[in-house]
Amino acid sequence: MGNAHKTYRKRARRLYRILIVVSVLALITAIGAFYFYGDRHNSEYIVPPKKLEEGQIAKSLDSITGFIQAPGMQETITHCTPCHSAQLVTQNRMTKEGWLSTIRWMQETQNLWDLGDNEPIILEYLAINYAPQEKGRRENLKVEAWYILKE
């Protein structure tokens, strides 16, 4: 009975090891699938069109990235989105100098490659389409009627 019990324990340990390896591989596969495909292709992440003010011309948005369709968009997609979401770019507003400073910071600290001849094209695209705005991130709330809380 002693040998049978030892054999059973060896088989059980081997089975547990196999289950652990399979579980780890499944977890790695799930994380990889989420990272490489994940929410980047989810339609709820596409930037909705903004309400236009009087006399303003509508700018078309790229349906996948949400970037404004204008000259330099493709170069910006090519160099920016391999490392981070397009939303990280579109949520920011900077001057040309601000964008250049951000690119230099990414090159010094985040291993961003030299953009070469595309750098002026990308800077121009970002400075024109994602320039600072006078408005904040959202408009002030409009209160229709105030009321007094009674204790």
Q: What is the pLDDT of residues 77-129, one digit of tens each?
A: 999 999 999 999 998 999 999 999 999 999 999 999 999 999 999 999 999 99
Contact 119, 103 (CB under 8 A): yes
Residue 56 CB neighbours (<10 A): 9
pLDDT at res. 120: 95
Which phi and psi angles does 38 have, rounded to 5°?
30, -140
- Domain residue ranges in the chain: 2-36, 58-129
Q: How far is CA 51 from CA 40, 105, 107, in A?
A: 24, 34, 36
The fold adopted by the segment(s) 58-129 is Cytochrome Bc1 Complex; Chain D, domain 2 (1.10.760)
pTM of the model: 0.53
pLDDT at res. 51: 60
